[in-house]
Structure 1
């Protein structure tokens, strides 16, 4: 294990080479952006503390059924309006410092960029566009008459993006690109990121939960996402 200021490497040595990788996959909530969207939506209906406690337990890995935990949280969001969602995006959602720089550097190095989130397309599509990310997969909130119903919409690939789906998405994209999964980088912070991080050649924990940090090859504990650029060439 080697440690620089705020960065820990386990099983790898710097500098790492961009040329060894062809794909980089990012979690969204608390990784590319500074908030957990589901918690902020819950705040609109006065349920933030309740929902945030479930989110924290899921991210720590204390809840084994991520899909059920997300269904429980989304059910509590029933009645939130599209206007409230727009307000959350406008006033609370902020890109993580260094996100734009890291995505730009990866793209300049020729990597395909992927956002794969247990969050919601209502936000991920806008984040994808802002950062110029090539591909994205997230969950779809059901909206009827301008309000959340408390349910999610099944998609052609399945129902909910959980840890297993994140891993499957990374492997699917790698296959479509004709690359080995070890030519992928996966960046995340929560327990549901561990399956895709384990499948990738380089796993990066960003201000992560202890269980995630312990298993990652690179852990960034201080500063922004662009800290990864310090160990890449």
Structure 2
């Protein structure tokens, strides 16, 4: 008996990391530049994102080195917007147009991540980040100005396994979850989702490249579109600017800029999209 046609099934939820995935900077390092601490904070961040140190061991240490104000954290919104990968707004708009629930899930600081999310049209309830605690007595309190951030509210996202715990709460019958991220905290959540996509287009990390279900090497988010959508659902993009971005994403899988770890799955994915 002949096998039936190969199919690729659409996802219902796409969870996107922020720093190093949507933007080509680490927000905490940008904040550290103001204090002359960029080198130290970048080294701590890379050690955590590459799996050499647990995130919880360095999260508040980095914050203590720079003690950013709320105004400085909000200034990150502009920096994030200036450093967005070029196709990010179009990809997210296309996912929304196809009925996909898009979330940001980040260990970044809440005001900045929420501001970027608003710019990208992602509802506030779908943005998950870390809320800082400010010192109310160190600033110009008589003018209502808070002091610098001195810690963070309890959050699973400051721990190595925190994204996995958060994403477990979204699992339900009929849902298919995809996570896209560049660091070890994203890789650690692989078992909580149906597909983990490692993103190496900004900060390539060997541990993520070796462990991810899918790995993207190009500095573009276009490969997310054919991964997130089925060919049938992608018909909604015909005649729109996103149609060419979808095709660009497929070309990335054909030329090796994006790949499945399992070569058989890679070929079956391309077969499912062959008719496009």
The normalised TM-score by structure 1 is 0.80
1:229 to partner: Cα distance = 2.5
1:105 to partner: Cα distance = 2.3
* Alignment check: 8 A CA contact 2:110 2:132 kept: yes
Unaligned runs of 5+ in 2: 1-5, 140-145, 232-276
Partner in structure 2 of residue 138 of structure 1 = 129
Alignment of 1:217 onto 2:217: no
RMSD (Å) for aligned C-alpha atoms: 2.2
- Between the aligned partners of 1:112 and 1:213, the Cα distance in structure 2 is 26
Select which of 100, 109, 122 maps to 1:111: 100
Ranked by relative contact order (alpha carbons within 8 Å, sequence separation 6 or more), the top structure is 1
Select which of 164, 170, 173 maps to 1:173: 170
Larger radius of gyration: 2
What is the correspondence of 1:90-129 to structure 2 with a 5 Å cutoff?
90-91=78-79, 93=81, 94-129=83-118
Partner in structure 2 of residue 7 of structure 1 = none
* Alignment check: 8 A CA contact 2:181 2:198 kept: yes
Give every structure 1 segment of 4 or more consecutive aligned residues whose post-TM-superposition deviation is greater than 4 Å.
Answer: none
1:16 to partner: Cα distance = 3.8
Unaligned runs of 5+ in 1: 1-13
Partner in structure 2 of residue 199 of structure 1 = 192
Residues 13-65 of structure 1 deviation map (CA, whole Å, 9 limit, x = unaligned): x98442xx1111111111122211111111111111001000011111111x2
Aligned residues: 209
* Alignment check: 8 A CA contact 2:70 2:149 kept: no
Equivalent position SS for 2:62: helix
1:227 to partner: Cα distance = 2.7
- Between the aligned partners of 1:62 and 1:230, the Cα distance in structure 2 is 33
Equivalent position SS for 1:132: coil
What is the correspondence of 1:16-165 to structure 2 with a 5 Å cutoff?
16-18=8-10, 21-63=11-53, 65-78=54-67, 80-91=68-79, 93=81, 94-134=83-123, 135-143=126-134, 144=136, 145=139, 146-154=146-154, 158=155, 160-165=157-162
Equivalent position SS for 2:25: coil
- Between the aligned partners of 1:120 and 1:179, the Cα distance in structure 2 is 32
* Alignment check: 8 A CA contact 1:76 1:150 kept: no
1:197 to partner: Cα distance = 2.7
**Structure (1 or 2) with the greater strand fraction:** 1
- Between the aligned partners of 1:90 and 1:147, the Cα distance in structure 2 is 21
